[in-house]
Structure 1
């Protein structure tokens, strides 16, 4: 929590940009649903199906809550290094997955292109920059990557349950309707392994970064 309080401008910047991307995408999703003859509710259901949206919302909350409610239970929880670490690795996974698997699937234009850039590129870069500039002083532990993957695991449970109810999936590589459950589950498992590997890399870089970190100056009383 001390790290976040010491870096309010950087954390506020991350919060503002991530909220801007999420809210812009929300507005676009509602308008797209209405343009296709669907309801606002349909647009909301689609909006909350994407790992990209949920993870950018995760980052937005992790950056915002320590600033506006730092002394509340929720603010302290989001201010924990393990929570911010989970958000950071998750948003990096968003950017990498989009770059490798999704960026050629569609060609967004106008405001949708802007939202696309913010959600998939700007926020991941800013979140990583913040994490590297202000790494947690507390030791995370070698099992941190496993703890961080609880969030994407929860997402896969959610998205498969959602797909069973709605008959649609947000991403083609986990679409059990077209791929079958075996292939969709195998792809999900591969993504989880990749997530753990990414988390291990982030943990290693964080550990190395802390070794060369300038010790904090003692507080004068």
Structure 2
């Protein structure tokens, strides 16, 4: 890593951690404030959103790399595969929202701020961090398969809980409206998109490595 990059990394991590935690905490506050459900149910639903879980993952990554870069967790979050997988997941958050969901509602005020931070600012910040600072050695097309674990576990969780509670966080996985057949087809399409996006990131790493 070049000297200028090393000097820029620490301030970047401070900004990234601050912005991401602020966005998550603001959204939690707004969710509780505006919910008609109980606080416990609201919190469970809050943590049922892929957006929230992935932003928390990004916030943890920024924070650990800032405060404990040489710890076991710091070494874990510094791995090329972990950083790239995290970047892909937060990129998915941004793409899904801006392509499929943005037109479905019109948030205002503080909710608009939280919305833009979670779905635009944080994804762009982490993509930029990955591009500028993340190590990219040892990544190949087979590296992507372990990266499917996180979205797969998430899909199993929300579909299982939805079957019990009737709540699905996103319209494209709403079994009540679409039925299992269409939801599973949507999930398959999302996994294919995840794979293709992963391959794009792998291709970028190869170009950057020369």
The two structures have a TM-score, normalised by structure 2, of: 0.91
Cα deviations by residue, 1:74-102 (Å, 9 ceiling, x for unpaired): 33222222111111000101111111110
Q: Distance in 1 between matches of 2:6 and 2:59?
A: 14
Does residue 163 (structure 1) correspond to residue 162 (structure 2)? The answer is yes
Contact 1:65-1:79 within 8 A present in 2 as well: no
Deviation (angstroms), 1:10 = 1.6
Cα deviations by residue, 1:16-69 (Å, 9 ceiling, x for unpaired): 111111111111111112xxx432212201211111111111111111112223
Q: Distance in 1 between matches of 2:141 and 2:103?
A: 36
For the aligned residue pairs, the C-alpha RMSD in angstroms reads 1.8
Instruction: Point out the more displaced range, 154-163 or 106-115.
Output: 154-163
Q: Distance in 1 between matches of 2:141 and 2:158?
A: 29
The two structures have a TM-score, normalised by structure 1, of: 0.87
Give SS of 2:103's match. coil
Q: Distance in 2 between matches of 1:128 and 1:6?
A: 15
Contact 1:4-1:79 within 8 A present in 2 as well: no
Q: Distance in 2 between matches of 1:160 and 1:4?
A: 43
Q: Distance in 1 between matches of 2:6 and 2:97?
A: 28
Contact 1:66-1:78 within 8 A present in 2 as well: yes
Contact 1:51-1:155 within 8 A present in 2 as well: yes
Judging changes above 3 Å, is the alpha-carbon distance between structure 1 residues 75 and 38 closer, same or farther for their aligned structure 2 residues? same
Aligned equivalent of 2:27, options 25, 28, 32: 25
Judging changes above 3 Å, is the alpha-carbon distance between structure 1 residues 92 and 105 closer, same or farther for their aligned structure 2 residues? same
Q: Distance in 2 between matches of 1:119 and 1:108?
A: 13
Deviation (angstroms), 1:154 = 1.3
Q: Distance in 1 between matches of 2:54 and 2:152?
A: 13
Instruction: Point out the more displaced range, 107-116 or 157-166.
Output: 157-166
Give SS of 2:141's match. coil
Does residue 41 (structure 1) correspond to residue 40 (structure 2)? The answer is yes
Q: Distance in 2 between matches of 1:137 and 1:170?
A: 33
Q: Distance in 2 between matches of 1:100 and 1:15?
A: 26
The structure that is helix-richer by fraction is 2
1:218 maps to which residue?
A: none
2:110 maps to which residue?
A: 111
Q: Distance in 1 between matches of 2:43 and 2:50?
A: 14
The answer for unaligned runs of 5 or more in structure 1 is: 212-221
Does residue 210 (structure 1) correspond to residue 206 (structure 2)? The answer is no
Contact 1:29-1:46 within 8 A present in 2 as well: no
Q: Distance in 2 between matches of 1:54 and 1:147?
A: 18
1:54 maps to which residue?
A: 53
Give SS of 1:168's match. coil
Instruction: Point out the more displaced range, 131-140 or 51-60.
Output: 131-140
1:184 maps to which residue?
A: 183
